[in-house]
Structures are given as C-alpha cells and as structure tokens.
Amino acid sequence: MLVLALDTATPAITAGVVALADSGPRLLAERVTLDPRAAGELLTPQVHQVAEAAGIALAELAAIVTGAGPGPFTSLRAGMVTAAAFGQALDKPVHPVSTLDAIAAGASHEAGLLVVTDARRREVYWSAYDAAGRNVTGPRVDRPDAVAELLTGELAGLGITQVAGHVAAQHAELFGLAVLAAEYPTPVGLVRAAESALSGEPAPLTPLYLRRPDAVEPAGRKRVSPA
C-alpha cells in the first residue's frame, strides 16, 4: 500500500511516499524544506519530486495522509487544501491526523512523552502521551509555564520524562524533561499515526486551529460625525 504523507503545520514543509506493509511503514522518498512562509509554493512541487524519487506514478497511491495541525492558519490551510486537491484529482481517500500525534509516532520513547510546537503569542501547542504512545490529553494550546504546572499536577502520573517538537529545547529546562531529536513530523510518523484509520472511511478534513481567527467581522457600521 503506497501512501502520500504531507504536513505544513510546523516550519517544516514535508512530503513523502511511504510503503505500508504488515511489517509497518517504510519510507521510499521524502522532501522537507524549513520555510514556514512557503508552503503554498513548495508543497506541490515536493509531491511530484517524491513520487519521481520513489519511482511511482501518483495514480499508484492508495491513500493520502495529511497533518491537520494544530498550526498557524495560513500554512496549515495550504497543506490541507493541497492534500484535498490531490485526493480529488486522483480519487484517493485523504486521512487527517494530528501533527503532534505524528511527531510522537516518529519519536523513539519508552516513557511518557510531551510534544510541543510553536503556537506564537508566547504559547505552545501540546499533547501528552503515555509510554505506549497513546495520546492522553490534547491537542491544547497554553503558555509554557502553564504546561510545566500540569506536568507536576494532573499529568504527574503519566511518567513523562521526555519532550519532542521543534520548540522542545527552548522550554526543556522549564519542563525539566530530556529533549528528543524528533522536531518535526516525518512521513513515516504521519502514516504511523494514521495507520489504524487507513482501512476505513477517512475522517472529515477539519483543521485543528485551536484558536479563533484574529480577523473578525465588524460589529456594526462606524458612526461618522458631521463635519
């Protein structure tokens, strides 16, 4: 089973082709570009590049997996719209997965794990995972110090000793956790996170913004005073 894996919810623009067999997912080709502002321009060319590098035609794909965030509105939307467009053009199912789940699935950990990515506004997107890799809370968005309080409070029983994600090192001292090398979602991690769902109907392509948009419609017409 050949799967196209995409994600643009972090600064990494990720595309890869993964072969999924009984032994698990195996990477055939990937392209990753660190540029949070170029997802709309780079993702589609990267899809064609990984197909060529893997030696396959896009029509041979069985499914598409796309990271659904959480992430910034513009880049996340670019990735999910691209996945939906390829799915429609190729008549293939498109399965959304949490980007944080994909990072966790790509990390080697034997204890509880925290995954954090940049949410801007001095906040982080995060999820917590038990030793078996199950998501036990999240995704959520909070200040790093609020997450640190939860680690010593309601999450203390999970045995979380490690942290992953591209801002993990930045907050490792605050969290008191060992930093893993898994910074961004990989194609294999994306497919692992979606593996149990690939045999069924895909879930709706709903992005995980976790915040209301900054731009809102005006509440009413502005009153203009006579000159």
Q: How confident is the model at residue 41 (pLDDT cuts 50, 70, 90)?
A: very high
Give this prediction's pTM: 0.92
Mean pLDDT of 146-161: 95
Q: How confident is the model at residue 160 (pLDDT cuts 50, 70, 90)?
A: very high
pLDDT at 222 over 80: no
Q: Amino acid identity, residue 111?
A: A
Q: How confident is the model at residue 213 (pLDDT cuts 50, 70, 90)?
A: low
Walk me through the domains of the chain, giving residue ranges and CATH numbers.
2-99+185-197 (3.30.420.40), 107-179 (3.30.420.40)
In this prediction, residue 215 carries a pLDDT of 46
pLDDT > 70 in the chain, percent: 93
